[in-house]
Structure 1
Amino acid sequence: MTADVVVVGSGPNGLAAAVTMARAGLAVEVFEAAEEIGGGLRSKALFRADVVHDVCSAVHPMAAASPFFREFDLVARGVELLRPEISYAHPLEGGRAALAFHSLARTCERLGPDGRRWEALMRPLLDRSRGVVDLMLSGRPNPAADPLVALLLAGRILRHGSPLATRQFAGEEAAALLSGVAAHVVGAMPTPASAAVALLLGHLAHGSGWPLPRGGSGRIAEVLAADLAAHGGRIHPGQRVTDLRRFAGVRAVLLDVGAREFLTIGQELVPAGYRRMLRALRNGPGAAKVDYLVSGPIPWAEPLVGRAGTVHLGGIQREVFRQETAVARGRHGDTPFVLVVDPCAVDPGRAAPDGQRPVWAYAHVPNGDPTDPVELVTARIEHYAPGFRDTVVARRGVSAAALESYNPNYVGGDIASGAVTVKQSLLRPGPRWDPYRTPMRGVYLCSAAAAPGPGVHGMSGYLAARSALRREFGIRSAPPLGPAE
């Protein structure tokens, strides 16, 4: 094989790694098991040809904020990141809803006495947002980090990642609003890990936002693939890699795969100690997906919810904590935490001429749960949006167990490629100074199973590529990533 670099997997991290290597002047080949590239960025028509659905991720706070995407500059490449007026909403009983406007001031106005507490929580993080993002996505201890940022985060993580979390707000709205963001950890709550997720995503809701790419998430994969092609790289879809020995002689192989798939591909080449470390990486709860084709906007009891980019259905704070902790322990519940996105609320062009439109929803369920989630998720939306059932034209459910069949990296439906715990966040995939380099010569792990973990940020791929450039090619300076380069 004549390639300098092989990347296995074309998810956001695999494409970020490939782009970085190709920008350094290396010959790059990408192998993707599926017929479509993009991994968690795939978009496709499911029920009718003129309505596009996001197959995995739909909303992308990190695409506007991560160091990789800041330099790559999606907007300059023609990707419109549509920032909703209301980043996320959290309906409550009685037709009420907590709303996180992009405007911090408007958010605080609606929170009453808790407005000042919300301002005190978020404003210092917003003032140092770039430092917060860079620290949390650095992938390893960062001596150059702003010590004030670390201090700000430490105090807030202590308060909101412990039983003290239940005492931080006087009313239900603010507490529910933050717990809904924290639930993106997909694990037990409250914990330091859930608090860190809440602080990162929560402050971005009032900063660079929680945008949706116009036309669907696939637009991000398209421009990454286009940049790779412009620098001589090639992608081979529909080619699943089952044996690393296929790439003998290639100087660097970067694997955008989960820990279990890594062991499958590596086979007996993986040293025993590294094999034990990957096997010890614990999977988190599963996600069960439902795609809907509906005849019109979701009829939320609180109409303002319909202007939000993301909606969290979980009830008040103690209900979110109880349900998410139960799921993390493998127990079912009749009121799962559900995330809902109506893309047309932000991107009206996603609707068909007759008004039919996509709706995207995920429920958090125990790992490996085989239950079809359609009825469970539909009931949760109907509870806060009476009449929703009557708008449904078509629907498709994918259980947590089936999600693994769609993508073998999602073991048991774990879309995070490993539970997001304190230990597995700081030492991901294990206790190694360079989390990307493996004991196998020239082989690197560049997926969400490595630091900094899940999310469409490209940082695991970018940082793995930087490590491989230094060690395998003696290239210490990062190549420029901007569109003008």
Structure 2
Amino acid sequence: MEKYDAIIVGSGPNGFAAAITLQQQGLSTLIVEGADTIGGGMRTKELTLPGFKHDVCSAIHPMAMASPFMRAIPLQAYGLNFQYAPYEAAHPLLEEEGAVVSRDLQQTIQDLGEDGDRYSRLIAPVVQQWDKLAIDTLGPLRRPRHPVQLAKFGMKALQPASWLAHTFKSEKVKALWAGMAAHGIQPLDNMATSAIAMVLLGVGHRYGWAIPEGGSQSIATALERYYRSIGGKIQTDFWLKNKFDLPAHKVLLLDMTPKQLLEVKNLNFAPPYLKQLLRYKQGMGVFKIDWALSEETPFSDQRARHAATVHIGNSFNDIALAEHDAQMGRVVDKPFVLFTQQSLFDKSRAPEGKHTGWAYCHVPHGCTVDYTNIIENQIERFAPGFKDTILARHTFSPAQLENYNPNYVGGDINGGLMDITQLYTRPTFSRNPHRTSDPMVYICSSATPPGGGVHGMCGYHAARLALKDHFNIKVEL
């Protein structure tokens, strides 16, 4: 068997980011993937009917080009192209006109009416300062390179979303804010829930919410092509159960969450470290549906028909209550639903004249309730006739998601609860949480800062530490 400087277990965005960062420095690396195809959360399959391409996990990618790591890789040269919708996101309401977010910041400010100036004061600094903020926020806690900008951002970002919502006057802007904050998959009165909303809106105006042509698998394919072009190697169909089953290597980087780490044999972790892994908190799960549709989704709000992502949940209060109840373990009959309609903007996703739909809602961790009717009924409220367009559907319960990808414990797609206690100190309380108690083993999954999303920054930071610790190589984006 060959010997490698580093082996990376897992071929999601973070696994690829770690492997590429190491390979770029001249190390010999191998990615090991348990499934028969690469990609992790970046996979596209015909889940319903032939010709309908569905994103199995991630779909729309706000962080794809907002990530310093992703921007540093020439992915377009390796076949990756993005499409963009007229609106990055729409938030329809039942009793009045909803809100939309376009890439044009000034147009969005104008559309938001009386709350436009307040929105501008909150989001425009994120748009303008993102390059500096990205370096200091998308990673573990450390001395900031841009302390002034980070402090100004943090004063607002660390607040609960419910606090900042009260500063808006109109119901439509409060609702829009709730939908953005709810991407954090936690109650909106939790500390730091404003951060996710500010980031998603800011990068939406700066880079757009990207739709990869051909599906999310296209991102994985481009990463694979680039990685192989610089000498990297990949082995699929290899589920790691025992460290000694791997080829010889100097360092090991694991794109795995604590539950999986605890199941791998012969990882030399100290008892105190194992105790911290056992205390790691998982977040809510999701119930996901993919549809093959006979026509586009008939949203009553016409602008929602031109948005990449539609947040379905009505008012701020409705969404806040739904997220709170799901966190408390209750079944919600009108949940917050994230809906995407990629085929409107990428014609390769469905047969001519047909369309795809992709949606999920947050449910109690490990929930066993079938949410199919609940989700479809919720969509029908805002798009009467939607049910009549359904040709076929495919569902993922929390347990099925975990079976598909063991990192999604109990359906938790963020790799762990991203509340204030685990936002930067995940999975353990450490200045460098990508390190483990075994100096030869690192964690590069979304269970490390900065958490979930297709950005690769967890993998980059883990690789950066490994390079410094074992190869005396310093890298900085």
TM range (shorter): over 0.9
> What is the rounded CA distance, in whole Å, between the counterparts of 2:51 and 2:247 in structure 1?
44
Corresponding residue number in structure 2 for 1:199: 198
Q: After TM superposition, list the pairs within 5 Å mapping 1:151-190 onto structure 2.
A: 151-157=151-157, 160-161=159-160, 163-190=162-189
Q: State the one-letter code of the partner of 2:413.
A: I
Q: State the one-letter code of the partner of 2:118.
A: R
Paired residues of 1:298 and 1:306 also in contact (CA < 8 A): yes
Corresponding residue number in structure 1 for 2:439: 441
Asked whether 1:301 is paired with 2:300, we answer yes
> What is the rounded CA distance, in whole Å, between the counterparts of 1:162 and 1:292 in structure 2?
32
How far off is 1:250 after superposition?
A: 1.3
Partner-residue secondary structure (3-state), 1:63: coil
Alignment partner of 1:393 out of 391, 394, 408: 391
Corresponding residue number in structure 2 for 1:252: 251
Name stretches of at least 5 consecutive residues in structure 2 with no aligned partner: none
TM-score of the pair, normalised by structure 1: 0.95
Q: State the one-letter code of the partner of 2:149.
A: V
Paired residues of 2:165 and 2:177 also in contact (CA < 8 A): no
Alpha carbons of structure 1 residues 141 and 17: separation in structure 2 relative to 1, 3 Å: same
Deviations 1:144-174 (A, max 9, x none): 1x2232232123235x516533421111011
Asked whether 1:461 is paired with 2:424, we answer no
Q: State the one-letter code of the partner of 1:149.
A: Q
Q: State the one-letter code of the partner of 2:290.
A: D
Name stretches of at least 5 consecutive residues in structure 1 with no aligned partner: 481-485
Corresponding residue number in structure 2 for 1:410: 408
How far off is 1:471 after superposition?
A: 1.2
Paired residues of 2:162 and 2:188 also in contact (CA < 8 A): no
> What is the rounded CA distance, in whole Å, between the counterparts of 2:313 and 2:16 in structure 1?
34
Would you identify which runs of 4 or more consecutive aligned residues in structure 1 move more than 4 Å?
A: none
Corresponding residue number in structure 2 for 1:362: 360
Deviations 1:41-92 (A, max 9, x none): 0111123332211000001111111110111133343311222221111111
Deviations 1:200-228 (A, max 9, x none): 11111211111111111111100111122
How far off is 1:99 after superposition?
A: 0.7
Alpha carbons of structure 1 residues 267 and 96: separation in structure 2 relative to 1, 3 Å: farther
Deviations 1:273-332 (A, max 9, x none): 111111111000001110100011100001110111111111111111111112112222
Alpha carbons of structure 1 residues 125 and 428: separation in structure 2 relative to 1, 3 Å: same
Partner-residue secondary structure (3-state), 1:422: coil
Corresponding residue number in structure 1 for 2:46: 45
Partner-residue secondary structure (3-state), 2:378: helix
How far off is 1:193 after superposition?
A: 2.5
- State, as a whole percentage, how many aligned pairs show the same letter: 37
Q: State the one-letter code of the partner of 1:101.
A: S
Q: After TM superposition, list the pairs within 5 Å mapping 1:74-223 onto structure 2.
A: 74-94=75-95, 96-144=97-145, 146-157=146-157, 160-161=159-160, 163-223=162-222
How far off is 1:249 after superposition?
A: 4.2
> What is the rounded CA distance, in whole Å, between the counterparts of 2:467 and 2:163 in structure 1?
44
Partner-residue secondary structure (3-state), 2:435: coil
How far off is 1:135 after superposition?
A: 1.9
Q: State the one-letter code of the partner of 1:430.
A: T
Alpha carbons of structure 1 residues 268 and 216: separation in structure 2 relative to 1, 3 Å: closer
Corresponding residue number in structure 2 for 1:229: 228
Deviations 1:416-469 (A, max 9, x none): 111010110121112212111111131110000111111111011111111111
Paired residues of 1:290 and 1:373 also in contact (CA < 8 A): no
Alpha carbons of structure 1 residues 70 and 262: separation in structure 2 relative to 1, 3 Å: same
Corresponding residue number in structure 2 for 1:426: 424
Asked whether 1:382 is paired with 2:380, we answer yes
Partner-residue secondary structure (3-state), 1:87: strand
Alpha carbons of structure 1 residues 207 and 118: separation in structure 2 relative to 1, 3 Å: same
Q: State the one-letter code of the partner of 1:10.
A: S
Paired residues of 1:253 and 1:442 also in contact (CA < 8 A): yes
Corresponding residue number in structure 1 for 2:261: 262
TM-score of the pair, normalised by structure 2: 0.96
Corresponding residue number in structure 2 for 1:483: none
Partner-residue secondary structure (3-state), 2:360: strand
Paired residues of 1:374 and 1:396 also in contact (CA < 8 A): no
RMSD across aligned positions (CA): 1.6
Paired residues of 2:298 and 2:385 also in contact (CA < 8 A): yes
How far off is 1:477 after superposition?
A: 3.7
Residues paired across the two proteins, number: 476
Alpha carbons of structure 1 residues 162 and 44: separation in structure 2 relative to 1, 3 Å: closer
Which structure dedicates a bigger proportion of its chain to helix?
Answer: 1
> What is the rounded CA distance, in whole Å, between the counterparts of 2:102 and 2:213 in structure 1?
20
> What is the rounded CA distance, in whole Å, between the counterparts of 2:454 and 2:32 in structure 1?
19
Paired residues of 1:252 and 1:443 also in contact (CA < 8 A): yes
Q: State the one-letter code of the partner of 1:293.
A: A
> What is the rounded CA distance, in whole Å, between the counterparts of 2:16 and 2:161 in structure 1?
37
Paired residues of 2:12 and 2:255 also in contact (CA < 8 A): yes
> What is the rounded CA distance, in whole Å, between the counterparts of 1:140 and 1:155 in structure 2?
16
